[in-house]
Amino acid sequence: MEMTLKRRETMHRLCGKGLEIFSEKGYYNTSLDDILTELSLSKGAFYHHFKSKEDYFINIVQNLIVQKVYALLIEPLDTDENPLPVIIESLENALEPGKKNEMAYGFMLNDFLTEFNKRNEEICGYLKNIISVWEVNLVAVLKRGKLDGHIARHVDCEGTATYIIASYLGMRSLMTDSSNRQLKYQYIQQLKQYFKSISATQTA
């Protein structure tokens, strides 16, 4: 059991640093040595724990990234308030750079999605799943908003969710050089504008 602990700890360190560097430089542009050097580990150590770079990244996706998406984008939705401001707040928060122990600019769902499109169908599938879970939750929360009288009845919740996700992903493409408070501000403002147009009380 002592051994298992050691194993877990090393794997955990590897995944953490991996997510950090992959987010910075991209998956294909990061060599295993880039990561191993920073952790003072060897190739041997790596392949003792993971069977390939791909396996390693899938591990990162299914543990760390899933977890972060839940924490930042999904769990915040779980309230009884008007969903619209809650969604805004979660997005605003997710676009915030340097969140505590996380890497700058949150994580790079869009970057990874784009990187694996047409290159690695399996990983792409996992990433799309994450987006899909997010979408499902957005739709649910929007529908609840309808029932609670916060959102106009004519609204297409699926379409709205898609639109929110698309604009969020696109923002991540635009916000490349850091400190893009301006861009983020514009985005949030326009999102509010859009939300006003689908809320039940047009003037609220």
Residues that bind a second copy (CB under 8 A): 24-26, 28-29, 110-111, 113-115, 117-119, 124, 128, 131, 156, 158-160, 162-163, 165-171, 173-174, 176, 183, 186-187, 189-191, 193-194, 196-198
- Nearest one of 183, 194, 185, 200 to 159, comparing CA atoms: 194
Q: Are 168 and 72 in contact (CB under 8 A)?
A: no
- Nearest one of 189, 147, 141 to 161, comparing CA atoms: 141
Choose among DNA, a second copy, none what residue 114 binds, the Cβ cut-off being 5 to 8 Å by kind. a second copy
Residues 113/118/121/123 CA torsion (nearest 10 deg): -30
- Nearest one of 13, 136, 7 to 77, comparing CA atoms: 136
- Cβ at position 56, least distance to a second copy in Å: 19
Which token pair is 82? Answer: 């008007």
What residue type is 17 in one-letter code?
A: K
- Cβ at position 186, least distance to DNA in Å: 36
Choose among a second copy, DNA, none what residue 194 binds, the Cβ cut-off being 5 to 8 Å by kind. a second copy
Closer residue to a second copy (CB): 92 or 158: 158
**E strand or H helix that includes residue 46:** helix 43-49
Q: Which stretch binds DNA (CB under 7 A): 26-34, 68-76, 148-156, 160-168?
A: 26-34
Question: How distant, in Å, are the alpha carbons of 92, 99, 202 from that of 79?
Answer: 17, 22, 22
**What is the footprint of DNA within residues 43-102 (CB under 7 A)?**
43-45, 47-49, 51-54
- Cβ at position 26, least distance to a second copy in Å: 7
Q: Give the interface with DNA as residue ranges (CB under 7 A).
A: 2-4, 6-7, 10, 30-33, 40-45, 47-49, 51-54
